[in-house]
Amino acid sequence: MCNSPMRVYAGPSRYVQGSGAILRIGKEIKSLGIQGKAFIVTSETAGRITRPMWERSLIEEELEFVTYLFGGECSDSEIQKIKLLADSAKVNYFIAIGGGKVLDAARAAAEILRMEIVICPSIASTDAPCIVLSIIYTDDGQMQEMRLHRKNPILVLVDLDVIAKAPKRFLIAGMGDALSTYYEARTCKSTHSLNPRGGLQTEAGLALSLLCRDIILTDGVDVAASYETQGITPAFERIVEANVLLSGIGVELCNVAGAHAIHNGLTQLKETHAYYHGEKVAFGLITQLVLEGESFTEIHRLLQFYKKVGLPSTFKQLGLKDPTKEMLLKVAKRSIIEEETMSHEPFAVSANMLIDAMRYADSLGNLT
């Protein structure tokens, strides 16, 4: 029997994006054959903005539901709380409405109960809606683990009107997360690293990762500059699709590498907790490219983009004013633990190598 790795494709069963998309949630759920009572997990802000729309749609389709207000952190204690409440409510599937941590916590609870999940992001700050992972944190906000689940969401519903109401910083952070997709996919291919499903990279994954990067670099600056006044333009739609769908499928089919490992390391410092996932990934990407010996021309192109849209490229912009060697060592040690995705890089990365690369990335950011 052949035991060599296969090329594996995985992704959400259905992706729906557009203005007013959340008004279709009841019809979409019914069309997929989902039956029974839903357990809806949502944040306070997302619930306030979206509840009149999804509640109307679910009631019109005579779908039962109960709701739970997310506790704020995607931690094991919060996941267990959601699981117990959902179990006692005798629900049949989950609906998650909110930002990345809401989605990840609901997804992890749904996995424990072996239930389908419908994802409705209220922001486009990460690729969390489409992926099969939950990023688990401690109760005080330190990244703990990436937890792999059996299957992707059965439905991802992205309402552009809802996304456009969120602060611009969320969309910019999403660009930082999405921008890393191609570079990390490229690295994973070069090292024959397996994707989250245990398969080799597909050409579809690599092509979509490259398209993701190109959309971000082509449309990102204009969308950021006109965010408050533009409305739902084709460029805005493309950026949302890149942040959510293309980046998510790129990760599913190819995996991540150094940039996300460095993000995970940065979460060890409480000074970075006020900064979003994509903002830390953006700095991690520059550091990864420094480690890999990427050309200055390419790094400079990215740093110019960061400056124009407002992504962080220095320690100071991540809340780290003059970080000590001990602080950077803490980041580095967490970034290179055995189970981290730093192992997808084409060479072994030591703590000292990573500290030097972070410092050099910071110096390049300060010069841009």
Find the catalytic residue in 104, 159, 263, 344.
263
Contact 132, 101 (CB under 8 A): no
* Tally of CA atoms within 13 A in the half-sphere of 185 that contains its CB: 28
Find the catalytic residue in 149, 159, 260, 344.
260
Provide φ and ψ at 297, rounded to 5°. Answer: -60, -45
Q: Which two tokens stand for residue 364?
A: 């390049």
Give the bridge partners for 18, in sequence order: 159
Find the catalytic residue in 104, 127, 149, 277.
277
Q: Which two tokens stand for residue 233?
A: 């333009």
Give the sheet arrangement for strand 155-159, strand by strand.
15-18, 155-159, 117-121, 93-98, 38-42, 65-69
For 296-344, where are the E strands, in sequence order? none
Active site residue 219: no
Q: How far apart are CA 222 and CA 294, in angstroms?
A: 26
Find the catalytic residue in 177, 219, 344, 362.
177
Query: Going by C-beta distance under 8 Å and a sequence separation of 6 or more, which residues neighbour residue 69?
Result: 42, 43, 44, 47
Helix ranges (H only) for 143-276 are: 160-165, 168-190, 203-225, 234-241, 247-254, 258-266
Active site residue 177: yes
* Cβ-based burial of 156 (10 A; exposed 0-12, middle 13-18, buried ≥19): buried
Residues with a known catalytic role: 177, 260, 263, 277
